[in-house]
A and B are shown apart, each in its own frame.
Chain A
Amino acid sequence: MRAKKITTAALLTAVALIIFIVEAQLPPLLPVPGIKLGLSNVVTLFALFAVGPSMAFLVLIARIVLGGLLTGQVVSMTYSLAGGLLSFVVCACIYRFFPRNQVFVVSVISAVLHNVGQIAVAALMTSAGIFAYLPLLTVSGIITGLFTGLCAQFVLTRQGRSGAPGAKRPGK
């Protein structure tokens, strides 16, 4: 059982890292700091709904730290860590109340909170004036959260029928 858990965590982290690094190579969508698709959040959401919060937490932290080191952006890693932790804590509390056809709702909340956490740390490290970006980042968070959430939702609904890792909790 333990070996299975470690394997699942390693597999999910590897997938999340690959998505993260590939996305980091793409040019930014808009010349606004903090706006990105955040595709690797699909893996965190999948882990949260399919396996549980502890697994999702491990995958999230491993992906942010390793991703930050591999892309060499240690300062950006601090921002991601703040955003990731804030959104994770809230999502881990609320995900139970959402059926699998509402994964995208959790994802949108997660994306918006990620931006809030990120901008709060950025304000501490630079200037409070950076909060002027909050409405714009909320707009982008809702759109990107919807996209990544629907990705995770489609994976989860298919996985529920397949017997893949974590498929032991069907019917949610």
Chain B
Amino acid sequence: MKTRYWILLFLAVLLLCAAAAWHIENTKPSEALAGVYQNGRLVRTVDLSAVTEPYDIVLTEAGSCDVRVEPGKIYILSSTCPDQLCVKHGPLGGGLPVACLPNKVVIRWLSETDKGYDAMTDAVN
């Protein structure tokens, strides 16, 4: 394949993915229900619209992550990870989750389908 075609192909994929990324970040859920995951498990579900007083969720399973919950807002306040990307990410905005990969923590919006699944895991736990 000619070099020119490869460049065009990469450019096309780049533009498509940029559009997809933009779309994901700008898609907000209808409800302010956030899920906090660690080590692949949903450890906490928070309805941000029901929060009145700020509080912290401290996750210590792999490294330590301090998750701050405020009315309508959830973010990682501090973390023991080396790059601090999760702290710099700021509050959970659109579809891109707040992630602290070294500490295996992910905070993301939960959808309707997640809720059914949560009810199930809650019953098991």
Contacts and interface: CB of A to CB of B under 8 A. Distances in A.
A154 interface: no
Interface string B89-119: 1000001110111111110100000000000
Contacts of B83: 28, 33
B88 interface: yes
A127 B40 contact: yes
Contacts of A135: 16-18, 20-21, 24
A140 to B, nearest CB: 9
Contacts of A102: 3, 6
B108 A33 contact: no
- Majority secondary structure of chain B interface residues (helix, strand, loop or mixed): mixed
Given A33-B101, A75-B102, A139 B10 contact: no
Contacts, number: 94
Contact of B82 (A72, A105, A125, A133): A72
Interface residues of B, number: 36
B13 interface: yes
Interface of B: 3, 6, 10, 13-14, 16-18, 20-21, 24, 35, 37-40, 42, 62, 82-83, 85-86, 88-89, 95-97, 99-106, 108
Interface of A: 28, 31-34, 71-73, 75-76, 79, 101-102, 105, 108, 122, 124-127, 129-130, 132-133, 135-136, 138-139, 142-143, 146
